[in-house]
Amino acid sequence: MKRVSLTQYLVEEQRLNNTIPAELRLLIEVVARACKTISHAVGKGALGEVLGSAESENVQGEVQKKLDILSNEILLEANEWGGHLAAMASEEMESIHPIPNRYPMGEYLLLFDPLDGSSNIDVNVSIGTIFSVLKARDGMDAPTEQDFMQAGSKQVAAGYAVYGPQTMLVLTTGNGVNCFTLDREMGSWVLTERDMKIPEDTQEFSINSSNTRHWYPPVTRYVNEMLAGKTGPLNKDYNMRWIASMVADVHRILNRGGIFMYPADARDPDKPGKLRLMYEANPMAMIVEQAGGAATDGRQRMLDIEPTKLHQRVPVFLGSKNEVERVTQYHQE
Ligand code: AHG
Ligand code: MN
Ligand code: MN
């Protein structure tokens, strides 16, 4: 097999399709390098003393794990000095992180969920990192949170790393989705799957069914129809998978189809779902759409939502196109 490295892929993609200017290439390579460092820490586990709680809370009131904080620091440090960014934002930081004055300022904004699937860290189940890249406004000198308030359709790149049996990087710059596997001996990312496509139909769904009693009627209807299987209105049997790491669930869906749902529910009307729009839902929605799937909040296309807050939450329905359209349709009826 002729090996194509991440760098070679990025250079060739720019030559062929003009989607990755040099500064964006640097950004992607720096993020990928940071993910390599996180992967190394994840792989050490107890031997690296990275497991367990940090005994602090983030802005959303979630208890932070040591790896949440470490991964956030790794991404911040890696991305500060290269001159490719104007500012960063993260699940683990209340406010945006402008690039310090001592470094040149670049034209991109980077958002990330440094460690996704925190509840799986201590039990050796796949976890990941999610990132989203936006363009800063022209001539910006002091970035503010307002500069990040752009719809997901404005993303110029999005991706995730999944730390599983293999460490993989899945990337889109708006021209399809490609997957790279970390060669641990060589320390390099190798292109292992080009132009990933999600099957339009599926017989597999993902939802945390412990919340069943809180669901709104469209979700209850849809899940009940799937559970009814061959004898129900959908005329086929479904299988169910829930990893509790969005990265790992989306990675499975990208490879063999499926629908992922984290709906809003009746528990707390002020909390529309669990997942965050800017650094979880939007980057995953861009990847899924680029792979031929669909992503909505149950009512509208995820990538069309105009954000109002950095840490805002949204209901999420994404994956195989026909199923996402069905459950979105049920919300309209
Ligand atoms: P994070 O670890 O970044 O806070 O995200 C966890 C998210 C997502 O990865 C996963 O799909 C979901 O939370 C799991 O939620 P439940 O614990 O409610 O199943
Ligand atoms: Mn997350
Ligand atoms: Mn996280």
What are the chain's domains?
A: 6-193 (3.30.540.10), 204-332 (3.40.190.80)
Q: In a 3-state reduction of DSSP, which class is residue 229?
A: helix
Over residues 117-169, the pLDDT tens digits come to: 999 999 999 999 999 999 998 888 899 999 999 999 999 999 999 999 999 99
Over residues 17-43, the pLDDT tens digits come to: 999 999 999 999 999 999 999 999 999
> CB-based contacts of 236: which residues, under 8 Å, 6+ apart?
203, 229, 230
H/E segment holding residue 246: helix 246-256
Report helix angle 6-17 to 22-44, nearest 10.
150
Q: Which atom of ligand 1 is closest in space to residue 113's alpha carbon?
A: 3
Cα(first)–Cα(last) distance of the chain, in Å?
51
- Two tokens, residue 220: 């209850």
Over residues 258-289, the pLDDT tens digits come to: 999 999 999 988 889 999 999 999 999 999 99
Taking residues 76-82, report their average pLDDT: 97
In angstroms, what is the span from residue 116 Cα to ligand 1's centroid?
7
By alpha-carbon position, which residue is closest to atom 15 of ligand 1? 244
Over residues 178-220, the pLDDT tens digits come to: 999 999 999 999 999 999 999 999 999 999 999 999 999 999 9
Q: Write down the pLDDT at residue 271.
A: 86
Which residues are near ligand 1 (CB < 6 Å)?
A: 62, 91, 113, 116-119, 208, 244-246, 274
HSE of 197 in the Cβ direction (CA atoms, 13 Å)? 5
In angstroms, what is the span from residue 118 Cα to ligand 2's centroid?
7
pTM for the predicted model, two decimal places: 0.97
Express as a percent the part of the chain with pLDDT over 90: 91
Does the pLDDT at position 54 exceed 90?
A: no
Distance CA 102, CA 234 (A): 60
Q: Which atom of ligand 1 is closest in space to residue 120's alpha carbon?
A: 2
H/E segment holding residue 204: strand 204-206
- Two tokens, residue 298: 């149950």
Q: Write down the pLDDT at residue 62.
A: 83
Burial 70-108 (b: 16+ CB within 10 A, else e): bbbebbbebbbebebbbbbbbbbbeebbebeeeeebbbb
Q: Supply the DSSP symbol for 301.
A: B
Over residues 214-255, the pLDDT tens digits come to: 999 999 999 999 999 999 999 999 999 999 999 999 999 999
* Single-letter amino acid code for the residue at 194: R
